[in-house]
Structure 1
Amino acid sequence: MANIKVLIIDDDKKLVGMIKNYLEKDGYEIIAAFDGAEGIEKTESHRPDLVILDLMLPKLDGLEVCKLIRKESSMPILMLSAKGEEADIVVGLELGADDYLSKPFSLRELSARVKAILRRVSKLKEDEKSKKKILKYKILQIDFQKHEVTINGEKTELTATEFALLEMLATNPGRVFTRDQLLDGVRGRELTPFDRSIDIHISHLRQKIEPDPKEPTYIKTVWGVGYKFEDEE
């Protein structure tokens, strides 16, 4: 685990110090940045395996940092929200954050989230190595080895969470997954009350792969239950 790098971007130096000390005990290499601009710089220079990103930052706010990271990389992002407001969480997830944690939080919970995200990313990489098939559904093509999705031959960029969701659904066509099953499968935790993060990720995924996101061709909503991947040609 010594080679796993975690970048913390937060202007609260005391909190960063506490997180750093706690996660270093888990064996991670910790890099710290105290404003958004420094965070972008260290993301590019250190290429961390995971970013812990606060929303409220000087110079460049967390949402803008998330957007800039997503333009260049699919590295997982764990978002921290001091406000605890659903609107901020929703926007962050829409911009490509993989998970969120509302302040105040316990360091134990933070550590558990970090481990769950890294396990998922590691599993995705292992699965990609073992899979040789390419799935094709109408104009949608999913290449598991290359971790690529194309629409009519044009590549579309997905975050790690979006790809994991698509993989889970597309490799089980016709099967209905509850929100709990999807969230537990791709992020390793159960839904909390009023947790809408899966709906946000599904919405974002539809925007990227569906010809008409308002009338989905592939990812269908099963009202009152969850979602399924349409298996009809």
Structure 2
Amino acid sequence: MKYHIAVIEDDQNIQNIVSAFLNKEGYEVTVMESAEEGMALWKSNPPHMWIVDIMLPGMDGYEFCKKIRNESEVPIIIVSAKDEEIDKILGLELGGDDYLTKPFSPRELIARIKRIFKRYSPEKTTQETDSDQVVVDQLAIHKHDRRVFWGQAEQDVTTKEFDMLLLFAENVNRAFSREELLIKVWGEDYFGSDRAVDDLVKRIRKKIKDMPLETVWGFGYRLRSKDE
């Protein structure tokens, strides 16, 4: 399967460099200069991944991410000259799966793309067997089609939220440190703050209010089973 990656970037030099590296890796690439063009592509030929600049003419990258995330869990990598921690947190809050600060190495971008596709594979079958499900009390996770249920209600979760929930469910009652969660969910090459972990947990708790996702004070988090 040839993955289709859409790049929204108004700097022509960055467009050329990124598209050249993506083409070299064998990806199908569509390059656009505005979020409005991105929304048109989303309706006509949705890609398997978005790479989105924040500072764009017209609709900015944050608003674009919000609109896409309201409709789909397709992976989004945010690229921005804004390197303040609050900007990174906002990008992740709005559904970004990763955040790269300009200037960045194209090879680092490729590494992050490959890691995300390894975790989120559109080509996986949607057929399920018993081993494809992880169940902890009211939480049920279907691994192959990446669906999450709390009781009978399906939950709308992002890629990172799914990865963290699956990690907790497969290791129920085990406490993970923030550093462990960064490595296991974001990958070893992620250099952001561990506040990203707290933010992701906050988002999960907001969506699934009764789930016993506990804080282990001074350490990290764990998913507690009612049977323990």
TM-score clears 0.5:
yes
Q: How do 1:1-233 and structure 2 match up within 5 A?
A: 3-122=2-121, 125=124, 129=128, 131-133=131-133, 135-138=135-138, 140-192=139-191, 194-211=193-210, 217-233=211-227
Equivalenced residue count is 226
Instruction: Report SS of the residue matched to 1:232.
Output: coil
Greater CA drift, 11-20 or 145-154: 145-154
1:54/1:62 contact within 8 Å kept: yes
Deviation at 1:222, TM superposition (A): 1.4
After superposition, the C-alpha distances for 1:188-212 in whole angstroms (9 at most, x for unaligned) are 225536342222222111111123x
- Give the stretch that moved more between structures: 56-65 or 140-149: 140-149
CA distance in 1, matches of 2:127, 2:87: 33
Inter-partner Cα distance in structure 1 for 2:31 and 2:104: 19
C-alpha displacement of 1:134: 5.1
Question: Can you list the C-alpha shifts for 1:83-113, whole angstroms capped at 9, x where unaligned?
Answer: 1122221111111111111111111111111
Q: For the structure 1 residues 88 and 19, does the alpha-carbon distance in structure 2 shift closer, same or farther, using more than 3 Å as the test?
A: same
Secondary structure of the equivalent of 2:103? coil
TM-score for the superposition, normalised by structure 2: 0.89
Instruction: Percent identity, please.
Output: 38
Measure the CA separation in 1 of the matches of 2:48 and 2:221. 30
Alpha-carbon offset, residue 224 of structure 1: 2.5
8 Å contact from structure 1 (residues 174, 231) kept in 2:
yes
User: How big is each residue's C-alpha offset from its partner over 1:3-46, in whole Å with a ceiling of 9 and x where there is no partner?
Assistant: 11111011112211110001111111111111111111112322
**Structure 2: segments with no counterpart, 5+ residues:** none
Shift of 1:154: 2.4
* TM-score between the two structures when normalised by the length of structure 1: 0.87
SS at match of 1:122: coil
Shift of 1:124: 10
Gaps of 5+ in 1: 212-216
C-alpha distance in 2, partners of 1:209/1:135?
15
Whole-Å Cα distance in 2 between the matches of residues 109 and 190 of structure 1?
9
TM-superposed deviation, 1:227: 1.4
C-alpha distance in 1, partners of 2:59/2:40? 12
